[in-house]
Amino acid sequence: MGKRIYNILFNLHTVSGIVISVALYVIFFTGSFSFFRDDIVAWERSEEAVKEDHLPPNINEILEHIDDSYGLDGRDINLKTYYAERAVAVNLTPSKESLVSDKAKQGAFFYLDPVNFEEQSYIESYSLGEFLYRLHFFAQIYYPVGYYLSGFVAFFFLFAIITGVLIHWKKIVPNFYTFRPWAKLKTIWTDTHTALGILGLPFQFILAVTGAFFMLKALLIAPSVMALYDGNQDQLYEDLEFNKAAYAFSNQKLNALPEIETYATQTLAKWNHFNLNEISISNYGDTNMQVTLNGFLDYTEKFNAPGSITFKPATGKTTILKDPYKSASYLDSVKNVMFRLHFGDYGGYFLRIVSFILGILSCIVIISGVLIWLVARDRKNLSEKKRLFYNRVARIYMAICLSMYPVTALTFIAVKVIQPAGQSFLYWVYFGSWLILSIFLIFKKDLKFMSNFCLLSGSILGFLIPLANGIFSDSWFWEQFAMGHLQIAFIDIFWLVLALLSLFAFTKSKSPAKKIKGN
């Protein structure tokens, strides 16, 4: 590689990394916690998922409850578990019958607890797990701005990865084994940045590609709609299987309503190790009623095996739409593999813990990149004005990033003290404390103080999380573990380990503080 090309790539890598550093840190930090989204939800609510991410067994009871409350005749009904949590998402279309109540003529969406049949809207069911999950793609910013912003950050991160590999290509192996803790500051951060960057390279590359795909797919689809479908967006969505199949309403009553649980039992008996997570019912109570069951084989059986089967109660006809034991279509392969690689949910707790560690290491790579950028510009040949500007930028970046650790720990405690927390409460606590702590750290003008303060305060708050859960929920992690409530016990144990590790890091950080000049 020529010197000119190397310098261009190096500058592009530096600029792209600095521009997206804070946004990328937020994505990786909250994304790392999002690997445990369902466990956080179970911990916050003190309720273990009934059957992981499968539909609960009492489908008939659920439908009877919904029928009593809303009336089901003539409706299309969708029951789905999106995550490994207890509540079932219920989506009802307006009834197609004319002689029904006004309530039945209205659609509805809510979450239903299959144990106590409590109903909640999306806002009412909003949890800390959902908050962190959605923050990692900036969903709190006005739609679709946040989605596109996170997508472009992922895209430019992919660009930074490629340019970083190119500029380090010749030294990528020897640099991985090089760490000089007693060298000058820039060398320490460079060694850290290079070694951890190489270690997490496959993980970061996968998340960059899949993240850009998810968040920017609307922009990718738009040209296809115009060029291949003559502007017919519905047809494209149908081909991509984003739209549900539509069945005509005959307006004739069925002689007897079917037992939906029977269909579920037949499907589970037909396909061993099948995870049933969705039931779609079209034209409920009509002679053209269709019941479609969707799910997938357990990942221990087959990595990519979606299954779908339709029953027609009036004729008893069964149609297999997707056989999980046969090869998946190209479309299913692309979509499912993208989701599985991004969420890392196919390898149990082991894979999620590894993904969390790699995510936090990626945060360290981002921080070390900012510090390399700062130290490289703290030169005597630069004007005082420029040096102050660079210091101020780095100080703001570091304050926003490092403060997320204690703020997240504080929010975990807050949702146990105030129950149910709700969306507004989470917004005020998390964003409010994040803003206050960031401003405090910025005005301290001391990078060493920032890191030590965040490590120590995060550790202390982390130790308090299991204590808060035990006091306010009367739920001690050893009791939950003994009862088999692994989701709830895991979060307490997770925070104890994380607090111990960050406390260890704090005790090892003993070098003299370095003041950063600034206005």
pLDDT tens sequence across 298-341: 888 888 889 999 999 999 999 999 999 988 888 888 888 888 88
Summarize pLDDT for 72-86 with one digit per residue, the tens.
999 999 999 988 888
Report DSSP letters for 317-360, one per residue.
EEEEEE-TTSPPPHHHHHHHHHHHHHH--SSHHHHHHHHHHHHH
Residues linked to residue 109 through DSSP beta bridges, in sequence order: 91
- What's the pLDDT band for 515 if we cut at 50, 70, 90? very low
Q: How far is CA 363 from the centre of its chain?
A: 16
Residue 308 and residue 321 in contact, taking contact as beta carbons nearer than 8 Å: yes
Q: What is the structure's pLDDT at 345?
A: 83
**Matching residue, tokens 């500007």:** 389
What is the separation of C-alpha 420 from the centre of its chain, rounded to a whole number of angstroms?
22
**E-assigned strand segments in 373-509:** none
Under 8 Å between Cβ of 149 and 23: yes
In the predicted model, is pLDDT for residue 517 greater than 50?
Answer: no
Mean pLDDT calculated for residue range 260-281:
92
Identify the residue with better confidence: 254 or 372.
Answer: 254
3-state secondary structure 396-425: HHHHHHHCHHHHHHHHHHHHHHCCCCCHHH
Q: How many other β-carbons are positioned within 10 Å of the β-carbon of residue 179?
A: 13
Tens digit of pLDDT for each residue in 413-444? Answer: 999 999 888 899 999 999 999 999 999 999 98
